[in-house]
Structure 1
Amino acid sequence: MSESQAIALYRPLLHTIAYRLTGCATIAEDIVQDTYLKWLVNGPEKIRNTKAYLITSVKNNCLKYSETLQVRKSEWLEQLPAGWLDRVHFQLPANVDVEEEIREAITAIHHKLEPLEKGVFILRGIFQLEYEELQEIFEKKKDHIRQLFSRARKKMQQRPVKSVANGDPGALWSKVETAFRQGSLSDLVSYLKGNE
C-alpha cells in the first residue's frame, strides 16, 4: 500500500479517534495531520503494521495535547488573584460549530447515498465496523460490502449533491447522535436496515 493510499484509508478512523478524545473537530484534524507528518518523516517503510502505528500515535498525541492543556490551565489559574475565581462563573461555550459540521455531513450522506450504501458508509466510515460485522448485519457477501463502501466514498467526494433520498435527514442524525452518546449501535443498525 502506498503512503497516499494509507493516508486516504486511515484518515476517517484516525479523525474519529482524535475527535472522541479531544471533543473538537479542528484539534482532531490537527492531531491527525501531525501524526501523518511524523509518520512520513520517520519512514513508513520501517513500520510493519501501519494501522496500529497510526492509531497508537494519534492516541498518544491526544494524551499529550490533554496534558499540555491541563498544565496551561493550571499555570493560568495560579496567576489569578486570590478569591477571583469565587466571583466569576465559568460557562464553557457550546461547540455549535462541531455539531453543525457533523449535521451537515450526515445530511450529505442522507442525500448522496442509496439506503444500503448509507448503512455501510456510516457503520464502516464513522463507527469503524469491520467488513465481517457488516456482512452479518446486512447479510451480503464481504466483497459486495467492500464495493458498496468504495462506491459510497466516491459518491461522497462528488459535487454538487445529487439527491437520491426523500425525507428529512433529521431522523438519521438523531440515530447517529444517540449511538455516539450511548455507545450502542443497535438502534442505528435497526434504522439503517429498515431503510434498505
Structure 2
Amino acid sequence: MTEQAEPGVFDQFRPLLFTIAYEILGSAADAEDVLQDSYLRWRGIDQDEVEHPRAYLVQIVTREALNQLRSARRRREDYVGNWLPEPIRTEHDASHDVLLAESVSMAMLLVLETLSPTERAVFVLSEVFGHSLVEIAEMVGKTDTAVRQIAHRAREHVQARRKRFRPDAETNRAVIDRFLLAARTGEVQNLMDVLAPDVVQISDGGGHVIVAGRPVVGAAPVAKFLIGLARNSMADMAVEFGSFNALPALLFRSGVERRLDTVLMIEIDGDRITGLYAMRNPEKLRSADLLRPLDRLRDT
C-alpha cells in the first residue's frame, strides 16, 4: 500500500474508531489523541501484511484507549467539583440507532465510569460493538476465560444501574418548551410539574467557572436552582436547541461573539425531565460545535 493510500483505509473506519475510543474514555479530546497515535502506528507498518485492517485498527485503538484511560483516571481523582464526560454533538448520527444512542448518553457514560478500565473496554466492545469474547481477549491481552468473567461482571454492574432509554423527539421538544417557559417566567410550581420527583442536576465547571459543587436532587431544589440561574447567570444569554450525546440539549451563548457558555443536556422519561447535565467547563466546550460522525456497525 502506498503512503498516499494509507489515510484512506484509516479514514474509512475513523467514525467507528472514534466511537470506540470515546466510549472507553468519555473524552472527545482524549479520543482524538488516541486516534492520532493509532494512525501513526498504522502508518508505520506494512499494511499489505494486514489481512483484516478493521480488526487490526480496532485492536490498536482499544489498547491505546486503555492506556489513556488508566492515566485519565488518576487525573480525574484531582478534578475540581463534579466530573461529566465531554459532550459531543450527535445530530444526524445516533438517532437512527437506539443502541448507539444509549451507549453515548450521559447516563450510560457515567455508569461506565464506575467500571474498571478493562471492564469498561470489554463491555463496550461486547455489548455495543458486537465483538466476540475471543476477539476481545486478543484486543485486551487476556485469556478467553478471564474476559468471559470480566464481561459477566461488567454486564451485571451496568444492568443494575442503567436507566431506561426511549428517545422521542416530538415529546422531548414539547417537554423542553414547557421547561424553558417555566424557567424564564420563574414559576416554581410550573417548573416542578415538568421535573420528575427524583430529578438530578449535575454541573461540571472543572474549577474554571462557578457551578453547584454537588449534584442537586429533587424537583423542588432543582426548580429553585434553575430559576436562580435563569434570573442571574443566564438571563442575557441566547438559547439554541441542539442534540448532544443523543440527548436533547440547550446551548447558552453569551456576548456579541456568541461564545458557548453552557451545554445543558436533558434526559427525559415520558413527559418528565429525569436528568440535567450542565457542561460549563470551557476546556470541554472547545470543540462542542463540531459534529462528529459515529458508527458501531461491524459491516462497512
Question: What TM-score, normalized to structure 2?
Answer: 0.30
> Whose RCO is larger (CA < 8 A, sep 6+)?
2
Task: Name the structure with the higher helix share.
Answer: 1
Q: Which has the higher strand share?
A: 2
